[in-house]
């Protein structure tokens, strides 16, 4: 099993493996080009993302945007992210349709062993999934292995370390459900 296969499976892997290092450098180069592109030339700037991410439809991300690999990020229809989005995508990140992010959102599938000796050698991760019609407030951190259901609102500044069920408003550190949303339109 290659280090890339281990990474994608959520197993401990060597992040400094040549293949993974080269993949990260490609993603960082494309992010740099995106972040430096003329903001009024939206079409040209967004085209850079199609070389990096799996975009199912209309996607608009404000600069600055950073990711580790890009090829592990799948974005649905009508996605908008405000400034300073960071996605550490060592495992799959799936973002549904009609999702909006406030500024300074951090999504991290990556984590490290607690043992300091192991931490020097390996890292691992767990996938993150966001349903349809989700709104993530500014300065939210979403941690490895989390699923956020359809029609959810995550309040600004929250640290999401556990799954959030469909139709929830959740806030805080750690993020907790504070309200259930009665939706007249089902998740698509």
Other Cβ atoms within 10 Å of 17 Cβ, number: 15
Query: Has 54 been annotated as catalytic?
Result: no
**Cβ within 8 Å of residue 20, ≥6 positions away:** 3, 4, 7, 13, 14
Reduced to 3 states, what is the DSSP secondary structure of residue 79?
A: strand
Q: Any idea what DSSP says for residue 9?
A: T
Q: Which of 32, 83, 112, 150 is catalytic?
A: 112
Give the integer Cα–Cα distance in Å for 175 and 158. 6
CA distance 149 to 134: 8
- Please state whether beta strands 159-160 and 153-154 pair in parallel, antiparallel, or not at all (unpaired): unpaired
Residues labelled catalytic: 112
């Amino acid at each position: 099993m290659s280090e890339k296969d281990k990474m994608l499976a959520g197993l401990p892997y060597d992040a400094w493996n040549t293949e993974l290092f080269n993949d990260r450098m490609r993603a960082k180069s494309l992010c740099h080009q995106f972040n430096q592109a003329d903001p009024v030339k939206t079409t040209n700037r967004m085209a850079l993302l199609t070389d990096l991410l799996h975009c199912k439809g209309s996607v608009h991300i404000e600069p600055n945007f950073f990711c580790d690999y890009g090829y592990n990020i799948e974005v649905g229809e009508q996605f908008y992210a405000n400034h300073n989005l960071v996605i550490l995508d060592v495992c799959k990140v799936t973002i549904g349709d009609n999702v909006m992010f406030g500024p300074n959102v951090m999504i991290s599938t990556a984590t490290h062993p607690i043992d300091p000796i192991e931490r020097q050698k390996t890292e691992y991760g767990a996938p993150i999934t966001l349903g349809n019609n989700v709104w993530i407030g500014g300065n939210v951190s979403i941690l490895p292995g989390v699923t956020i259901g359809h029609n959810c609102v995550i309040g600004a500044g929250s640290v999401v370390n556990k799954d959030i069920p469909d139709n929830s408003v959740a806030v805080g550190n750690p993020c907790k459900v504070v309200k259930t949303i009665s939706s007249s339109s089902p998740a698509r």
